[in-house]
Structure 1
């Protein structure tokens, strides 16, 4: 069985809109809600979420997002994600984010992200 959180973040490196949509759709419910520090309001639904993820690959070509750790308590999963790629100076850069994820069955229903790990 595949991990919907890993699948969702694998979509962040996909530049092709159709392939990215399919990857996002395989990980989330149709009415998924998503928030992070860069969203002024909640993103709702697969189309809007796939478009938002596409802005990442458009603005940071060659970068990827990789789930590096997860743990679950009371039905909520905390996922630590490393966003990495080449910076403007040509050196490898890594930014860490943390996401709190709710699922229904094997699909993500709600995700809230934060910059860093709160340290």
Structure 2
């Protein structure tokens, strides 16, 4: 798995906006396009993506996102991501998402996420 994908998901637990933006900037192209079930439309650009990811850390403090499996074909990567942290009852919870990532060189140019793995 390319380092840019790991780096991108590390940014999901960074609460400080400037540090999060720096981390995301190191992982994606300037014209990144991002879509997942929680986006009403595609997110375009690094700043907008950093703001979107910031909503995760604001709404789920202490949670993390980690790639737990991946495979690739040409410049596309399929990544299984575990989002984990304490739920409202204090118990540890894990939610799985699947992402399809298009690379441009060593950076992410497009990413589409899905809840679960389609099983």
* Structure 1 vs Structure 2 CA RMSD: 0.8
Residue in 1 aligned with 2:15? 15
Partner secondary structure for residue 117 of structure 1:
coil
Unmatched 5+ stretches in structure 2:
none
Extract structure 1 runs of 4+ deviating beyond 2 A.
none
Equivalent residue, structure 2, for 1:118: 118
How big is the shift at 1:75? Answer: 2.2
Could you state the TM-score of these two structures normalised by the residue count of structure 1?
0.97
Q: Does 1:6 align with 2:17?
A: no
Query: How far is 1:74 from its partner?
Result: 3.4
Paired residues, what number? 118
Gaps of 5+ in 1: none
Deviation at 1:76, TM superposition (A): 1.1
**TM value normalised by structure 2:** 0.97
SS of match in other structure, 1:52: helix
